[in-house]
Amino acid sequence: MQSRTPAPRATGRPRSAAADAAILAATRAALVELGWSRLTLSDVAFRAGVAKTTLYRRWAGKNELVVDAVAELFDELELPDRGSLAADVEGVVLQFAAILDRPEARSGLMGAVAEAARDDVLRERIRASIVERQKRLVVEGRARAQERGELPYEEDPRTAARTVDLIFDLVAGAVVHRALVSSEPVDADWAVSLTQVLLLGIAGAAQNPAGSV
């Protein structure tokens, strides 16, 4: 979320926090109207009502700016206790899908990931500000399921971390792939089917025909 200022100096004129918010909002608006490739920093600066040079003082370039602008979208993800692991998974899947339905998330997220293929610093920035922000939901839901007795406890913290990572990539990856690559809708039915496979496995899900409507 932080622009890239290493340390806020104690002296001199402070940076306008309002400008930061305006710039990030303008970036999202530009993503909606123009998409990734046509988005220009000149345009963002105009929309935000700041000078173009101010933008370059805070962000190294388009990639970093968009990552920060998109990362904020995932702040609205929550995980209310819906009573069961299955219900929790279905809920978060639909929430996540709603975010990915917004054009600023689609083009911004994928554009940033594309650029990260050749930029180690950007890749780490994505991992820190987007991936970690979402992964907390898995940790939370998992702990809750363990309290309910729906999932076993894992003693070794390394094994536990690996499980969390796996579940996260499975769920988030499936939703992203379905919505953005396969271009098919993530609706309630699909969320139910996904959850069944996740909890029971492929064969188990086929026996229980709840996903077939």
Partner DNA sequence: CGCTTTCGCTACGGGTCGTAGCGTAACTGT
Partner DNA sequence: ACAGTTACGCTACGACCCGTAGCGAAAGCG
Helix (H) or strand (E) holding 176: helix 157-176
Residues of span 38-97 touching DNA by CB under 7 A: 40-43, 49-54, 56-58, 61-62
Report the C-alpha dihedral over residues 146, 173, 106, 79, rounded to 10 degrees: -10
- CB crowding 66-76: b at 16 or more within 10 Å, else e: bbbbbbbbbee
User: Out of a second copy, DNA, none, which partner does residue 51 contact, by CB within 5 to 8 A per kind?
Assistant: DNA
Determine, following the binding rule CB under 7 A, whether residue 178 of this chain makes contact with DNA.
no
Determine, following the binding rule CB under 8 A, whether residue 30 of this chain makes contact with a second copy.
no
Judged by beta carbon, residue 21 or residue 121, the one nearer a second copy is: 121
Determine, following the binding rule CB under 7 A, whether residue 173 of this chain makes contact with DNA.
no
Residue pair 66/36 in contact (Cβ under 8 Å)? The answer is yes
Determine, following the binding rule CB under 7 A, whether residue 16 of this chain makes contact with DNA.
yes
Residue pair 111/62 in contact (Cβ under 8 Å)? The answer is no
Determine, following the binding rule CB under 8 A, whether residue 36 of this chain makes contact with a second copy.
yes
- What gap in Å lies between CA 80 and CA 83, rounded to an integer? 9
Q: How far is the CB of 119 from DNA (least distance, A)?
A: 12
Residue 21, number of CB atoms within 10 A of its CB: 12
User: Out of a second copy, DNA, none, which partner does residue 35 contact, by CB within 5 to 8 A per kind?
Assistant: a second copy
User: Out of DNA, a second copy, none, which partner does residue 211 contact, by CB within 5 to 8 A per kind?
Assistant: a second copy
Residue pair 122/67 in contact (Cβ under 8 Å)? The answer is yes
Helix (H) or strand (E) holding 71: helix 62-71
Q: How far is the CB of 135 from DNA (least distance, A)?
A: 31
Residues of this chain that interact with a second copy (CB under 8 A) are 35-37, 103, 106-111, 113-119, 123-124, 126-127, 130-131, 150-152, 154, 156, 159, 162-163, 165-170, 172-178, 180-184, 190, 193-194, 197-204, 206-207, 211-212
